Amino acid sequence: MKVAVVGCTGLVGSVMLKVLEERNFPITELILVASEKSVGKVINFKNKAYKIVSAADAIAKKPHIALFSAGGSTSLELAPKFAEVGTTVIDNSSAWRMDVAKKLIVPEVNAHVLTKNDKIIANPNCSTIQMVVVLNPLHKKYKIKRVVVSTYQSVTGTGVKAVTQLMNERQGISGEMAYKYPIDLNVIPQIDVFLDNSYTKEEMKMVNETKKIMGDNSIGLTATTVRIPVMGGHSEAVNIEFENDFDIADIKKILHDTHGLIVMDDIANHVYPMPMHAHNKDEVFVGRIRRDESQAKTLNLWIVADNLRKGAATNAVQIAEYLVENKLV
């Protein structure tokens, strides 16, 4: 099993390597790929040193699987070249997500749609992934009519530059800015660029990706995405209106029984999910589960997950695990 990691020096790429090692993914040959300036540098994996190679050299090796986290433009250029030599690409950028010919996969929700013919597979947006893991089992039982979500997203979702900005501001150091405004002691109600409809690209990703992953365009969804000065994971306040009424005890049981979910919902003891719980974990955490008293058949809950792991690297590795287990590569 030859595995390439494209974008291995970035935040998500480095976490991909960590997750591959932790989960003992069956690799016989690891191929590390980064930008030309990083070629020749050495990265350690399982106590062995690997030299970073160029994309051309990696393609020549014809890996079975290539995990991509190198940005949309790189993916648009290189993913088809890897696919042409028979590699199955799992791409973490937004490049292929809404391509009608490409599958958009969260393993707990829709891995069953994958086939051997899927050579470029899209990994969804981090904030979408953690939400649909919760929404999907509830949709199956009660049918979701509408979702209103507000996100509280970690600076790690922007990258190293944003983490540096936060830590610099916290220490009173001037430095390069990832955001237009200070992030320490502040929240920024903009993630990605604004579109013609006055929503941000991140907000519309959540709308469009959710419908595609869950295979239901009838779900109404509106989002407000916000950057906050934390690390460790993204948080989401989610309001869900169902077609059918529900029982809170049943909702909690469904979520408790869902693979990849951990229910933290004991308000008497102040137990609810926070980024500090999700940090470096692969599961999605859900709590503050309660009925919306302003409207019938409507539920409120709170979802937290590590955006670099389940929101990116772990989800990609889980797709790769599914492909291997089902002999699709």
Task: Just list the catalytic residues.
Answer: 126, 234
DSSP for 43-54, written as a single string: EEETTEEEEEE-
Q: Does residue 253 sit in helix, strand or coil?
A: helix
Number of helical (H) and strand (E) elements in the chain, helices listed first: 10, 14
The count of other CB atoms within 10 Å of the CB of residue 94 is: 19
Burial level of 83, CB count in 10 A (0-12/13-18/19+)?
Answer: middle
Do residues 25 and 47 make contact, with C-beta atoms less than 8 angstroms apart? no
235: left (phi over 0), alpha (psi -120 to 50) or beta: beta
What value does the CA radius of gyration of the chain take, rounded to a whole number of Å?
20
209, 215, 218, 224: CA torsion to nearest 10: -20
Query: Tokens 């797709």 sit at which residue?
Result: 319
Q: Does residue 76 sit in helix, strand or coil?
A: helix
What 8-state DSSP symbol labels residue 210?
H
CA atoms within 13 A on the CB side of 48: 10
Q: Which amino acid is at 206?
A: M
Q: How far apart (Å, rounded) are the C-alpha atoms in residues 91 and 315?
A: 11
Query: Tokens 């953690």 sit at which residue?
Result: 130
